[in-house]
A and B are shown apart, each in its own frame.
Chain A
Amino acid sequence: MNFIRIYGLFLRHFYLITRSFPRILDLIYWPSIQITLWGFISNFFASHSTYYNNAVGVILTCAILYDFLFRTSIGFNMLFLEEIWSRNFTNLFIAPIKIGEIIISLVLTALIRALIGLIPAILLTSPLFGISLLDLGVHLFLLFLSLYIFGITLGIFVSAGLLRFGPSFENIAWSTMFLLAPFGCIYYPVEILPEFFQKIAYSLPLVYIFEEARSILIDQTVNYENIINAFYFNGIYLLIAISLFYYSFGQARKKGTLINIGE
């Protein structure tokens, strides 16, 4: 691993973000709108639901966690798509940068992009709705880490598709999170799902993360089994995603996609 090259690719996206105020605004705008919207819905449910009446911030906290996942995943895809849109793809792939270095650089940049959007949104929740994410305690870090890994994993899966199939895969990049959201049980317990869907949900790390968030906020109990399961599935999916990315790169070199995307 060469950290200068990793930093170089990070710098390319850092310059892009910091040069454009509308880009920064765009990163902040959607999470803030999302959090505000769910904040009001959360307030409504808190006063009209027996399930949520002891935990005003459950829905809002889950909304913030989901948004972090969404921003991380989309952020990773955006970084990759940016190279295609700017016709810089060939320049990047003829530079002496390893696939692992590209992944690490995009992983770090995606985190920064997600945090730029999320931190202002989190800061809004306290004065507007009297809710603090810190209620999740030290476990908050574990949940965020788990979501971050899964967000990155989805980003790598989609980028592997972009590498292999080219820009025609772009629509999939936008729809992945919406496809998985129902199985993630973000706003409702997993028992709500039909039995077959529950099996799918239990094979994803998301359900364990959001079940754990609700467990802490509603029942005030920490279930480490959920956290361990989330990391376990994350590890498996991340390994598969990275392997697929390498495989797609090999296939792209074999089938000529790298040249077709680049021009």
Chain B
Amino acid sequence: MENLVEVKNLKKNYGSKEAVKGISFNIKENEILGLLGPNGSGKTTTIGMMLGLLKPSNGEILIDGKKIEENRIETLQKINFISPYIELPKKLTVRQNLIVYCRLYNVLDIKSRIEYLVEKLRLEDLLNRVTGELSSGQKNRASLAKALINNPTVLFLDEPTASLDPEIGDFVRSFLENYKKEKKISILLASHNMSEVTRLCKTVLMMKDGIIIDKGHPEELIKKHGRKNLEEVFLKLSRSSNELY
């Protein structure tokens, strides 16, 4: 399988502070890559650079073989993002929001794209409701529909199930697994939910203080560090000095 995302020696400095210190990794087609790390480890900065919101101080990011810094608009057409920290305009209905984003992403057959996402994400009853009046779980599904509106080849998920109840959280995880299989997309998942990461990811990157301190399959990491689960591995690595494993 080919790499849909290539990150090479990526660095980001804010003045004298180094937020990301030359990290490299790839995401293959039809792969979910987990990005773990304590707060302030550089995850958000890394995702910000991959979304074109931040300019790297050094290094490069290639999406589907194209450098994002040189082909920003073309690359943004192929990716999308969901995070509980950003929202869709609250005063618009879900349908209006989806129409707006169809236009912004130049979706040609708006009606069928919305119908497809409505069916997949069980949005039938929510379409004509004002987005700001939805529950957290309903808003999450609406945001997920927006994140898939352009049929992205690479999807960035920042804590996609935070603040969701277990039933809806499970629905979202199952949906993502199935959607990835169906569309063969690449997903970068940043999450603090270790069972979610264990379930969804074949490869996990552990970040701390702007560097990748370890990586591997969740089960391999658990075995390698002699712990019972990924959460314990996370705690061990978070509390250790920045030793590379």
Interface residues of A (CB under 8 A from B): 2, 4-5, 7-9, 11-12, 15-16, 19-20, 82, 86-98, 250, 253-256, 258-259, 262-263
Contact = CB atoms under 8 A, between A and B. Distances in A.
Contact of B53 (A2, A4, A94, A97): A94
Given A87-B86, A262-B86, A94 B76 contact: yes
Given A16-B89, A16-B91, A87-B87, A256 B54 contact: yes
Given A7-B103, A96-B74, A259-B48, A91 B86 contact: yes
A253 B106 CA distance: 24
A90 B83 contact: yes
Interface string B206-236: 0000000000000000000000000000000
B222 to A, nearest CB: 32
Interface in B17-55: 44-45, 48, 51-55
13 contacts: A4-B103, A8-B100, A86-B90, A90-B51, A91-B146, A93-B53, A94-B51, A94-B52, A96-B74, A96-B77, A253-B52, A256-B54, A259-B53
Contact of B91 (A20, A89, A96): A20
Contacts of A96: 73-74, 76-77, 104-106
B245 interface: no
Q: Is the interface of B mostly helix, strand, loop or mixed?
A: mixed
Contacts of B55: 250, 253-254
Contacts of B48: 256, 258-259
A8 B103 contact: yes
A258 B53 contact: yes
Given A2-B106, A5-B103, A96-B73, A263 B89 contact: no
Nearest to A20: B91
A91 B14 contact: no
B85 A263 contact: yes
B14 to A, nearest CB: 6
Contacts of A9: 100, 103-104
Contacts of A8: 100-104
Contacts of B164: none
Given A12-B100, A15-B96, A86 B89 contact: yes
B88 interface: yes
A45 B81 CA distance: 59
A253 B53 contact: yes
B92 interface: yes
B99 interface: yes
Given A19-B93, A92-B104, 19 more contacts: A4-B103, A5-B103, A5-B106, A9-B104, A11-B96, A12-B89, A15-B92, A15-B96, A15-B100, A19-B91, A86-B91, A90-B86, A93-B53, A95-B105, A97-B104, A253-B53, A254-B55, A258-B53, A258-B54
A213 to B, nearest CB: 37
A202 B74 CA distance: 44
B98 to A, nearest CB: 11
Given A8-B104, A259-B54, A262-B53, A94 B80 contact: yes
Contacts of B52: 93-94, 253
Given A15-B100, A91-B146, A263 B86 contact: yes
Nearest to A259: B48
Contacts of B146: 91
The 4 A-B residue pairs with the shortest CB-CB distance, nearest first, are A8-B103, A96-B76, A8-B104, A263-B85
Interface string B109-151: 0000000000000000000001000000000000000100000
Contacts of A90: 51, 53, 81, 83, 86
Given A98-B73, A250-B55, A88 B87 contact: yes
B131 to A, nearest CB: 9
Interface in B63-85: 73-74, 76-77, 79-81, 83, 85
Given A90-B81, A256-B54, A262-B53, A95 B89 contact: no
A250 B54 CA distance: 9
A5 to B, nearest CB: 5
Contacts of B88: 86, 88, 91
Contact of B99 (A11, A98, A263): A11
Given A8-B100, A94-B80, A88 B53 contact: no
